[in-house]
């Protein structure tokens, strides 16, 4: 078997199952699948699983709390929701708060899914 026919067999996947060239192709494919994520950042992340009516809270090491407010609970006006609107959405659940800053949470396609809100009482 010549080198040209071997390469042609790799390209058109014509080698018999169980043969050495077939095993080499499968090994190279599996190596690509399992080893490239360690070296190439594909930018994939899990999709946020935020229900449209649930506000999540977590402790802020600097003081106060960090809230995750779904976009449906604070619709954006010109792309940026006012602090009062976010404070009102959080206030219905946690009582009155003062919003320090906000940051949009977007899914991979760029769609706004929630707001990350740093607030204190």
pLDDT tens column, 36-75: 988 888 877 776 666 778 899 999 998 889 999 988 888 7
Q: What pLDDT, on the 0 to 100 scale, is given for residue 21?
A: 87
Between CA 57 and CA 66, with CA 63 as vertex, the angle to 5 degrees is: 25
Domain for residue 47, yes or no? Answer: no
Instruction: Give how many domains the chain has, as a whole number.
Output: 2
Please check whether residues 35 and 8 belong to one and the same domain. yes
d(CA 33, CA 43): 15
Q: What pLDDT, on the 0 to 100 scale, is given for residue 31?
A: 94
Domain of residue 98: give its range. Answer: 56-120
Please check whether residues 63 and 109 belong to one and the same domain. yes
Please check whether residues 112 and 66 belong to one and the same domain. yes
Please check whether residues 22 and 68 belong to one and the same domain. no
Main-chain phi, psi angles of 99, to 5 degrees? -85, 125
d(CA 120, CA 96): 9
Residue that is written with structure tokens 């078997």 in the block = 1
């Amino acid at each position: 078997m010549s080198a040209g026919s071997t390469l042609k067999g790799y390209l058109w996947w014509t080698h018999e199952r169980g043969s050495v060239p077939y095993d080499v192709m499968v090994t190279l494919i599996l190596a690509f699948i399992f080893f490239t994520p360690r070296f190439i950042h594909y930018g994939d992340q899990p999709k946020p699983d935020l229900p449209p009516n649930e506000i999540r809270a977590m402790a802020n090491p600097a003081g106060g709390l960090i809230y995750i407010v779904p976009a449906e609970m604070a619709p954006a006006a010109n792309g940026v929701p006012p602090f009062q609107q976010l404070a009102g959405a959080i206030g219905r659940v946690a009582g009155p708060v003062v919003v320090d800053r906000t940051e949009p949470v977007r899914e991979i396609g760029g769609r706004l899914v929630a707001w990350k809100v740093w607030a204190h009482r």
